[in-house]
Amino acid sequence: MSTPQKMSAMAKKIATLDPAFLPAIKNLEPCRFGLEKPTSTNYQSLVRAVIAQQVSTKAAATIGKRLEVMCGGRITVERVAKLSLKEIQSAGLTGAKVRTLDELTRAILEGRVEIKKFTYMNDEEIMGQLLPLFGFGKWTIEMFLMFQLGRIDIWPVDDLAVRRGWDNLHFNKDAIKPKALMAEGDLFAGMRSVVAWYCWRAS
């Protein structure tokens, strides 16, 4: 877990390394990654991440609530495993998302994804277990690592809002490309999630 003191120190270091971030750090909401214990289990977080792909926040909440009701009030690996694919789809999920949830659930039950150990695994190990599953791209896993596990050195350069925020803070005339932004992140190694946080809020 992070501490407010560590976050404050990282913010100051970021502003020192790149003064373009000073206005954001001074005026925007401070980064909260790793400061609070998650209210959802790792499985629940991944399920909701899948549900939220390419739908509105309101629609995702509605679908998530339906699935929760189907699971007797709490989404767990065991309860989702007991549902048929048609039942899962009836919550409002596309066929692709049903397949994603089914593969995730099976992988956990078979031990291929050690979700209960994620807290103690490094980012690369978690990425290595989830990426082979259908429907799990790098961006989805990066969001999980930051917002669920509180990892502070994730650099989601494929996120459009992160790139827009970077451009806004640096007054770029031309939009920065993911490859170029990846290289820019080297300066902030060890705290790139915090940099991404301020980019989001400046987008």
Q: Are residues 83 and 109 in the same domain?
A: yes
Q: What's the sign of the alpha-carbon dihedral 8, 121, 148, 194?
A: positive
Domain holding 53, by residue range, is 42-147
Averaged over successive runs of 10 residues, the pLDDT of the chain (203 residues) comes to 90 97 94 92 96 92 97 97 97 96 98 96 97 95 96 96 97 97 98 97 94
Whether the CA torsion 152, 156, 159, 160 is positive or negative: it is positive
Q: Do 103 and 143 belong together in one domain?
A: yes
- Identify the CATH number of the domain in which residue 194 sits: 1.10.1670.40
Q: Say which CATH number the domain at 139 has.
A: 1.10.340.30
**Is 138 in the same domain as 191?**
no
Max Cα-Cα span within the chain: 54
From CA 14, how far away is CA 9, in angstroms rounded?
9
Quick one: DSSP state of residue 176? P
The whole-number pLDDT of residue 166 equals 98
User: From CA 159, how far away is CA 161, in angstroms rounded?
Assistant: 6
Residue 125: both structure tokens together: 């190990």
Provide the number of structural domains found in the chain: 2
Would you give the DSSP letter of residue 175?
Answer: P
Are 49 and 21 members of one domain? Answer: no
**Shared-domain flag, residues 142 and 93:** yes
Residues shown for the chain: 203
Residues 6+ apart with CB under 8 A from 196: 146, 154, 155, 156, 159, 162
Same domain, 86 and 141: yes
Q: Residue 150 contacts by C-beta under 8 Å, 6 or more apart in sequence?
A: 1, 2, 33, 34, 35, 38
Place of tokens 């877990």: 1
User: Which pLDDT does position 2 carry in this prediction?
Assistant: 83
